[in-house]
Structure 1
């Protein structure tokens, strides 16, 4: 039986039932977008299943993207860097592939980079947070492409566990809000997002990362 929990938002109550997006055996339900594979068909697929874990090998760089589109959900990931710490990310509201630098799909990224987990990165989509200028920089330099200020730092860099230990990253997308927890600490909360649905993606961005949990919980309003 799937896990069930209750979430409240304002005066509304939502009932949720969880389902795993990773079956522990293969990448059913996902597809790979790796530009290097267009040029070299012998290049390795950076996304594999190993010892029951979903693994991002880090290179060649690209994305593992769900086939399905999701809206109003909670995404729970458990991950760890397997060697030296580095970069990775979970992307929500994914749409147009390779929309930035011919690599990154149009989306809002929740950063997983070591010591920066929970940052927002705006990739042809945008989001607002409190204290926007303090956290993002001068308003005139904000943007969602090119060399604009696309990063919105998280509220704390002290929530990650030591290298080699499993981290829990939770992302809740409800309407145009996104909340992020790292190991149960609320580390980011954005609103007025320019998208509220899309695919979900995991990155290969230089460092090997293992995932042992990829759990999605749709959020639906209870019948009155």
Structure 2
């Protein structure tokens, strides 16, 4: 009885402390705490910024393509984003452990992507970083094709086919980055679990990748290392 009570108290304490530490990365007013990297704006700085605030929402307009990147570097955290494709379905992504800018195709920073593309949410994409999963050859293809750069098999398919909400409804993606593990949930379903990640900290980025996406929540909760 005492042991059960103690476990309950410890769980409640952990739960309370974890939730008390959650903080929004988006203030609903402007892009404070973020910076953009949009290659096309190098040649024409008058191009429209693809990341805007509209009706209290953070919106990725999709074009011109690029990334919205946190100023801060983050390590060992849980991030929750609530997003939807309000119009046409398309592509977008949440980049984790982002570092060297424009490391791939002159566009994508070195990172691990948690895919948000409609009907593919939760796929991993390796962008000059690598991560492993169970059943790698089934989910990534023949081993000889694996890699993290152009021409290599960089996609690792998620575990489910029906975790996303219908087009226009809000989805919740939660990603936990802890030590060299990354776990992804979409609307409560665990859709991916990677390990032996080649990076354990970095910036967080959202993409403008051709489709308009609305975000109503982008919140981060620090978590302690397993060894602590």
TM-score (norm 1): 0.92
Structure 1 runs, 4 residues or longer, greater than 2 Å off = 4-7
Report the structure, 1 or 2, having the larger helix content: 2
1:184 to 182, 188, 208: 188
- Would the aligned equivalents of 2:76 and 2:225 in 1 still touch at CA under 8 Å? no
Q: Does 1:118 align with 2:122?
A: yes
- Would the aligned equivalents of 2:18 and 2:221 in 1 still touch at CA under 8 Å? no
The equivalent of 2:81 in structure 1 is 77
2:52 to 28, 48, 52: 48
- Would the aligned equivalents of 1:15 and 1:220 in 2 still touch at CA under 8 Å? no
TM-score (norm 2): 0.91
The equivalent of 1:88 in structure 2 is 92
SS in 2 for 1:6: helix
The equivalent of 1:212 in structure 2 is 216
Structure 1 residue 221 displacement after superposition? 5.8
Report the structure number with the largest CA radius of gyration. 2
Residues 1-40 of structure 1 aligned to structure 2 (within 5 Å)? 6=14, 15=18, 17-40=21-44
SS in 2 for 1:55: strand
The equivalent of 1:66 in structure 2 is 70
* Structure 2: segments with no counterpart, 5+ residues: 1-11
The equivalent of 2:5 in structure 1 is none
- Would the aligned equivalents of 2:111 and 2:129 in 1 still touch at CA under 8 Å? yes
Partners of 2:71 and 2:97 in 1: CA distance: 13
- Would the aligned equivalents of 1:15 and 1:221 in 2 still touch at CA under 8 Å? no
Structure 1 residue 15 displacement after superposition? 4.4
SS in 2 for 1:220: coil
Residues 131, 73 of structure 1: alpha-carbon distance in 2 compared, 3 angstrom cutoff: same
Partners of 2:30 and 2:194 in 1: CA distance: 33
Residues 149, 27 of structure 1: alpha-carbon distance in 2 compared, 3 angstrom cutoff: same
- Would the aligned equivalents of 2:34 and 2:70 in 1 still touch at CA under 8 Å? yes
1:166 to 167, 170, 179: 170
CA RMSD, Structure 1 to Structure 2 (Å)? 1.6
Structure 1 residue 82 displacement after superposition? 1.5
